[in-house]
Structure 1
Amino acid sequence: MPLSHDDQVTLLKDILNNHQADCCGSVAECEQIERLVKSLMVNTQVDENVKNILQEVYQYSQHGAQTADLDQHISSNQDNLSQWVNNIDQFS
């Protein structure tokens, strides 16, 4: 059974919150973020403001999946992570 739009948004925010709180993550989480963002980007229920945020999140996840030091990548994006979650909450 596929995840609903709300479930996808909740899962995305959970992963981003975990990255922000733990300052670490996995390549698999970055790949999961990419899949969630792709699915949400084509969903007509998603607010255009959220789609702009999703573009930034997608770039973050792509870079994270390819970097040699994922924990450093997450640490350097701490402000972005909390801002993205706050902004997604505002528009969804």
Structure 2
Amino acid sequence: MPLSHEHQMTLLKDILSNHQTDCCGSISEYEQVERLVKSLLVNNGVNQNVKSILQDVYQYSQSGISTSDLDEHIQTHQDQLTQWVDGMNQYS
């Protein structure tokens, strides 16, 4: 059974929050973020304001997949991670 967009959003926020608090992640997490974002971007039930945030999160996942230092990548995006999760909470 596929996840609803609400569950996908919750999962995405959980992964981003974990990156923010733990300051570490894995390639598979970035790949999962990428899949979630792609699915949410084509869903008509997702608020347009959230979709603009999702575009930034997609770029984050893309650069995370190709980075040589995952932890540094997460550390560099600490402020954005907080802003993205807060924004998704505000509009969803």
- Give the Cα–Cα distance (whole angstroms) in 1 for the partners of residues 19 and 64 of structure 2: 11
Runs of at least 4 residues off by over 6 Å: none
| Aligned position for 2:34 | 34
TM-score (norm 1): 0.99
* SS of residue in 1 equivalent to 2:51: helix
- What is the deviation of 1:69? 0.4
- Give the Cα–Cα distance (whole angstroms) in 2 for the partners of residues 52 and 75 of structure 1: 22
Unaligned runs of 5+ in 2: none
TM-score (norm 2): 0.99
- What is the deviation of 1:80? 0.2
**Which amino acid in the other structure matches residue 33 of structure 2?**
I
- Give the Cα–Cα distance (whole angstroms) in 1 for the partners of residues 67 and 13 of structure 2: 22
| Aligned position for 1:69 | 69
| Aligned position for 1:24 | 24
Unaligned runs of 5+ in 1: none
What pairs with 1:48-63 in structure 2 (closer than 5 Å)?
48-63=48-63
Cα shift readout 1:12-64 (whole Å, capped 9, x = no counterpart): 00000000000000000000000000000000000100000000000000000
